[in-house]
Amino acid sequence: MVYVFYPVAIKVLAVKYLLEGLCYDEVCTHLRWSISKDSLITQQFIMGLRLAASVLIMVSDWSTFLHIVQN
């Protein structure tokens, strides 16, 4: 059971820390200027990334749970 969960946990943590890293002020400022000068677009972009990460984390947790239950 631990061997099944371990790789998934590493992937989930990697995505989590990657998206948290995108929320630092310097990176948000860089994204704002590289995508558009409108901060609303940047905020929507960051929110979209967070939503995608949340869905990815939920799906990976659920698939891990099902895999453990089936075995």
Q: What is the domain range of residue 56?
A: 2-70
Taking only the tens place, the pLDDT of each residue in 1-45 is 445 555 666 666 666 666 666 555 555 555 555 555 556 666 677
Handedness of CA 9, 11, 15, 17 (dihedral sign): positive
Cβ-in-10-Å burial (0-12, 13-18, 19+) of 28 comes to: middle
Q: Mean pLDDT across the stretch 40-62?
A: 72
Judged against a pLDDT cut of 60, whether residue 52 lies above it is answered with yes
- When divided into structural domains, the chain yields a total of 1
Structure tokens at 27: 């990176």
pLDDT in the model for residue 23:
56
In this prediction, residue 57 has a pLDDT band, given cuts at 50, 70 and 90, of confident
Judged against a pLDDT cut of 70, whether residue 48 lies above it is answered with yes
Structure tokens at 43: 């905020």
